[in-house]
Amino acid sequence: MSQQDPGSKPAVTMSDVQLLLKKKDEIEAQIKAYYEVLEDQKGVGMNEPLVDVEGYPRDDVDIYQVRTARHNVICLQNDHKALMHQVEEALHQLHAREKEKRERDEAEAQAEARSQSQTLLRPFARVNAVTPGSPASFSGLQVDDEIVEFGSVNAHNFQSLQNIATVVQHSEGKPLSVTLIRGVERLHLGLTPKRWSGKGLLGCNILPLQR
């Protein structure tokens, strides 16, 4: 769990926004209730005068109740305005964090794809001879083909040509998957090590690439 900077504000969550929206609904309900009180007092509303034409307090309305309702409406409207500002700020933070996370995820995905692409395309050995009539020749292997994968051997685990020799010995008579780069093309061949009239089980010579 990452430790938060003591001076920083806690990150806003969707649940925080939902609580703010609930509070907003409650304030709006209270404002509505006070407006109904004013409506019941001869519909005085927020601005109707509370004195008669001669300047005396009106006796047809409950002046204390009207003033209290008006005061509460003003206070609640101020609270509502401040709360809506909080909601706006919270949503902005959420969207900004979501955007930042999305951009970070995309950057990481691209970096991983590039890394995988480089790893996948990185050859570790080169074919420098193929004997005609050999298993290697029949598979389509050619001189200067650069080997990316030879069975289970790839740039990650290749240490020496003995790795390839071991795979070949254990795969006699069984097709091996070989991935190679020829020029700008990436090719997949099936190569079956087996006895033939020549030396070895492949009939080709492979050299490790110096990197």
CA distance 90 to 14: 9
Q: Return the pLDDT at 11.
A: 81
Global pTM? 0.48
Give the closest residue to 23 by CA, choosing from 92, 94, 82.
Answer: 82
Q: What is the pLDDT of residues 140-171, one digit of tens each?
A: 999 999 999 999 999 889 999 999 999 999 99
Q: Extract the tokens encoding 29.
A: 């309900």
Judged against a pLDDT cut of 80, whether residue 1 lies above it is answered with: no
Q: Return the pLDDT at 8.
A: 61
Give the closest residue to 207 by CA, choosing from 128, 121, 150, 140.
Answer: 128
Judged against a pLDDT cut of 60, whether residue 7 lies above it is answered with: no
Judged against a pLDDT cut of 90, whether residue 85 lies above it is answered with: yes
Residues 6+ apart with CB under 8 A from 128: 143, 144, 205, 206, 207
Q: In the predicted model, what is the mean pLDDT of residues 122-150?
A: 95
β-bridge mates for residue 147, sequence order:
125, 180
